[in-house]
Amino acid sequence: MRVLFLTQATELGPSSRYRVYQLLPLLRQLGIEGEVSPAIDSALYTRIYLEGRGSRRAALLAAWKQRRIDLERAVEFDAVFVQKGVFPGLYSGFECKLAKRKPVIFDLDDAIWLPRKGGNPLLRKLHRESAVHEILRSSAAVIAGNGFLADYASRFNKHVTVVPSCLNTARYPRGNSEPRIGWIGSSTTLPYLTALRGVFETLRVTPRVIASGDAAALGFAADFRPWRLENELDELAQIGIGISPLPDTPWERGKCGVKLLQYMACGIPVVASPVGVHHDIVRDGQNGFLAANDEQWIELLGRLIRDAELRQRLGAAGRETVAQRYDVGMAAESVASVLRSVR
């Protein structure tokens, strides 16, 4: 079976990397040959999303040009896998036209029916939820990153399968045994950290932050490390306690918890907000902690800072959780099953 994978970015884009690129070698072993066509190349992605230079209009234009090419060549494949959409919430034309030519498998790992938080104000204004409905209805099958996304997609498509974002645990090194609090993310998710400013000040800690964007936007002292794909794992291994604060809103309930899985794959104990998929990943007190307010964040982080044995125990349990429930091999088998079902 030959499948054309239309991704939003190259491997530099986290969703593209976890939802498509890492699966390709395993899918090939399962009899599925995949060819990937990213909407934008690595140079443009780096300039806009990692360095913060240039207009996102350039990304939209590049995506439009590339998808016009892909629309014509789709007939060469047995199916087309669309990762998160060409222009999510803006335009459904490409996906609907593709669906008339070949079976489309639509993959989503964000609540794309909602205007993107922190996105371009004009694009937020132009956002059209009905465009997402049209894509979901026209798709032969839908893959959702969690139950919240699947519940929404099921309103418009009967063939929805939950496939969590997964990791290859063997690639991840052991985290630092020291109680260094750390966070990994992107420029668009940096604002989540500002909610913990008072927590950091109370504990008198300077968090390690691995991300693109401007450290000054945080408004508090941080040991800021620019995110780069080539040294991501080395940077993660220097963290001793991983955090994932999130507000409890519909957009955040659609997230798939990859940063939590990354910490846990390194054997790093975690503290997370009790929001969305965090409830599924973290068994409170067994493989990590859930903190609902500042008092709990202070108490739980303080315990982990003081107790090396607790850090080791929770970290080991977290790594086992990822290996047993969020292994990339299981994701590949699930995706392969969906792909075969549309032939």
- Is residue 83 within 8 A of residue 8, CB to CB? The reply is yes
Residue 118, pLDDT > 70, answer no
Evaluate if residue 140 carries a pLDDT over 80.
yes
User: What's the pLDDT at 214?
Assistant: 86
How far apart, in whole angstroms, are the C-alpha atoms of residue 143 and residue 18?
A: 13
Give the residue-averaged pLDDT of 313-322: 97
Note whether 263 and 318 are within 8 A (CB): yes
Residue 127 confidence class, pLDDT cut points 50, 70, 90: confident
Tokens 């090194």 sit on residue: 173
Q: Average pLDDT for residues 181-189, to the nearest whole number?
A: 93
What does each C-alpha distance from 338 to 64, 79, 81, 101, 132 come to in angstroms?
Answer: 27, 11, 10, 18, 20
Task: Specify which residues 104 forms β-bridges with.
Answer: 80
Q: Which of 49-53, 130-134, 263-267, 289-293 has the lowest mean pLDDT?
A: 49-53
Residues 6+ apart with CB under 8 A from 59: 39, 40, 44, 45, 48
**Residue 121, pLDDT above cutoff 90:** no
Percent with pLDDT over 90 in the chain: 87
Taken as a whole, the chain contains a residue count of 343
Q: What is the pLDDT of residues 237-266, one digit of tens each?
A: 999 999 999 999 999 999 999 999 999 999
CB 50, CB 31: distance < 8 Å? no
User: Which has more pLDDT, 245 or 186?
Assistant: 245
Task: Provide the pLDDT for residue 109.
Answer: 96
Domains of the chain: 2-166+328-341 (3.40.50.2000), 169-325 (3.40.50.2000)
Calculate the average pLDDT of the chain: 95
State how far Cα 103 lies from the chain centre: 25
Q: Does the CA dihedral 285-191-256-243 come out positive or negative?
A: negative
The 10s digit of each residue's pLDDT in 70-117 is 999 999 999 999 999 998 888 899 999 999 999 999 999 999 999 876
Query: In this predicted model, what pLDDT tens digit does every residue of 284-302 receive, in sequence order?
Result: 999 999 999 999 999 999 9
Under 8 Å between Cβ of 68 and 132 = no
Q: Which residues of 91-115 are buried (b: 16+ CB within 10 A; e: fewer)?
A: bbebbbebbeebbbbbbbbbbbbbb
| Per-residue pLDDT at 117 | 65
Q: What percent of the chain has pLDDT over 70?
A: 99
List the structure tokens of 176. Answer: 């630092």
Q: How confident is the model at residue 119 (pLDDT cuts 50, 70, 90)?
A: low
Q: Are 95 and 139 in contact (CB under 8 A)?
A: yes
* Predicted TM-score of the model (pTM): 0.94
Q: Calculate helix-pair angle for 294-306, 308-325, nearest 10 degrees.
A: 110
